[in-house]
Amino acid sequence: MIEVTEKIAIEHGLKKDEYKKICELLKRNPNITELGIFSAMWNEHCSYKSSKKHLKKLNTKGKKVIQGPGENAGVIDIGDEDAIVFKIESHNHPSFIEPYQGAATGVGGILRDVFTMGARPIANLNSIHFGSPANKKTKSLLRGVVQGIGGYGNCIGVPTIAGQTSFDESYNGNILVNAMTLGLVKKDKIFYSKAAGLNKPVIYVGSKTGRDGIHGASMASAKFDDKIEEKKPTVQVGDPFTEKLLLEACLELMKDDSIIAIQDMGAAGLTSSSVEMASKGKLGIELHLDKVPCREENMSPYEIMLSESQERMLIVLEIGKEDKAKKIFDKWNLDFSVIGRTTDSKNIELYFDNNKVANIPINLLAEHAPEYDRKWKKSKLPQRIKFKKKDFNKLKITEVLKKIISSPNICSKEWIWEQYDHTVMGDTIQKPGGDAGVVRVHGSEKAVAATVDSSASYCYAHPLSGGKQIVCEAWRNLICVGAEPIAITNCLNFGNPEKPENMGEFVECVEGLNEASTYLNFPIVSGNVSFYNETKDKGIKPTPTIGGVGLIKNYKNMITMDLKEIGNIIIVLGKTEGHLEQSIFAKEILNEKKGPPPEINLFNEKNNGEIVLKLISDKLIRSVHDVSLGGIITGIAKMCIKGKKGIKLYKFKGLLDKFEYYFSEDQGRYIIEVKKDNLEKVKKILDKNSNHYDLIGEVIADNISINNEPTLSVDKLTEFNKDWLIKYMVN
């Protein structure tokens, strides 16, 4: 038996004072199994010890919120007794160490979070961030992650409907892989993880337990160094075919009243699932670890409790339902074992070969987990940059557009999403590449829209503004397909919280998220925090990712961004102030990375978004796209590419420089296409509602025509947009 010391505790990721506290709470030294359990439950990934103080401030309630944070996923009401279950999670560290399995098991884990609650998954999304394209590892990491996402999602038969990919040198040593899933469930068939009742059988189902993934949760809360390759054994190995069987078996068992509580074995495996179920029910739990199905010989209690082998569930059943449940799991060729029972001890008691090998009060692992009030540094809003006319003198709009449309963060990501099955299940009506993905609710007129968004550059420049912007971007993307925004999930990716500047980025981003979420009535119902995203003391830019979900009451009213008809008028809705700082134009063309992000006016965001929804509902606009990275001209270019049509821009008359007008990234704006016959109706509505707008051009056949500049064919523009990523991955 290993004697536990302070040194061993530190090797498990615990601090000296944390280990001292454990000994004081237990009134003895823990044994090695108990230490492993504490290290898993008290790490950053499971306990949220640095973030919970600030997460409590978030807006989490709303009229359509059925379940907010605290469960496996959030749940919202979409009418007709239907509900959507959804969440986004990170799998950053594993994906950097072993990109295929890291990304694949990230998808598998978020799928389990959703179907654990009784929902059938209907859509996947992802947000993936890589280092500079020039970095020697970027290409292989990108290839492995994309293959892992596709390999798991395609095999299990859930469509991947939307996503986001970006490149930045801050991710050179620590990529981000965030996976999101939506599931559909009837409101009266939602399952929760709270255990209830005494002497209820605790059931292990799914795959056998192996030694893969041990210390995975602790690794997710660790910094990287030169010995990163040594952490490969902590990466879980996924099997999508087994997960498909587990999904169907669980949903079959959920058809009656057999299940009291159910929890997937994700981070920290059997430890977290058993502790969380017992803690929520204020019960104890007794487990006999020699009854756990293992695929490797001589596994110790420590290994069994900390394994993160995939495709496993823990279930508390009603007494007498064991045989019926076993028949279901036998039918699906899955392991089924009664491994314990609920008790009134309020302890987790572990037995192995008839010996008690651990005995810990549940509240020491949950309620007594550390909660830190970390020091944090407030950020300053950077000064504006005065761009001079001479900066633009030699530039041509068409040449600038070609460079921006083919830049790594703007170019088409078709090479990526073509590897994902986005049509399986037959309900996808908006595939990747639009403002948001859309799936029809099978057998109804309803459709659900979803998007993922982040903006590390804005958050790095000013976290408070950046946090607000991401929520607004998700809001706009949902509106652009005709969906009423309902709720969001977040994945908060940051560096080391022990550094005040990093903690400050987190605190202020959360403040920004909350402010925008509250104003827009866009509550945050689930999420995840990923800290310690750094290598060799160099952290990532703050990258909170927002997953937004909205409802289209009749899928036939969905709208898309592709230009529809020659002769239609193009309107920019929302005021253009000419904010170039932190824009793609400033970075790619002027090589300027300083300055503040664009200002967020929440009143304008709400007012402009609501009027766009009205125009869509009244069938007065043919296409719509929000103005985001790259500004007006980049947004129009994407609409041209999608619709295979051109645009003739009217002669520029504004007070701003034309480059400030066309390439600024002022927020709260939309590009809308209007038939000439409806133009006066639209103008009247906008004027009545005090919405600022500019008539800037009209749809033509094949070219982009900008004042006196040479025309640019849409075919050529499409080529510029598509070629960069393909050539990068092939060469």
Tell me which residues are annotated as active site: 45, 91
13 alpha-carbon distance from chain centroid? 26
710 alpha-carbon distance from chain centroid? 41
Q: Are 13 and 49 in contact (CB under 8 A)?
A: no
What whole-number distance in Å separates Cα of residue 111 and Cα of residue 86? 9
Phi, psi of 56 (to 5 degrees): -60, -20
Q: Which of 628, 622, 540 is nearest to 584 (CA)?
A: 628
DSSP category for residue 232: G
What whole-number distance in Å separates Cα of residue 22 and Cα of residue 361? 11
Q: What is the CA radius of gyration of the chain?
A: 26
What whole-number distance in Å separates Cα of residue 547 and Cα of residue 446? 20
What whole-number distance in Å separates Cα of residue 142 and Cα of residue 560? 28
Q: Are 503 and 377 in contact (CB under 8 A)?
A: yes
What whole-number distance in Å separates Cα of residue 160 and Cα of residue 125? 6
* DSSP character string of 196-216: -SSSPEEEEEESPB-STTTTH
580 alpha-carbon distance from chain centroid? 28
Spatial neighbors of 288 by CB under 8 A, at least 6 apart, are 339, 340, 351, 352
10 Å CB burial of residue 107 (0-12, 13-18, 19+) is buried
- Amino acid identity, residue 150? G
What whole-number distance in Å separates Cα of residue 687 and Cα of residue 367? 55
Q: Are 492 and 503 in contact (CB under 8 A)?
A: no
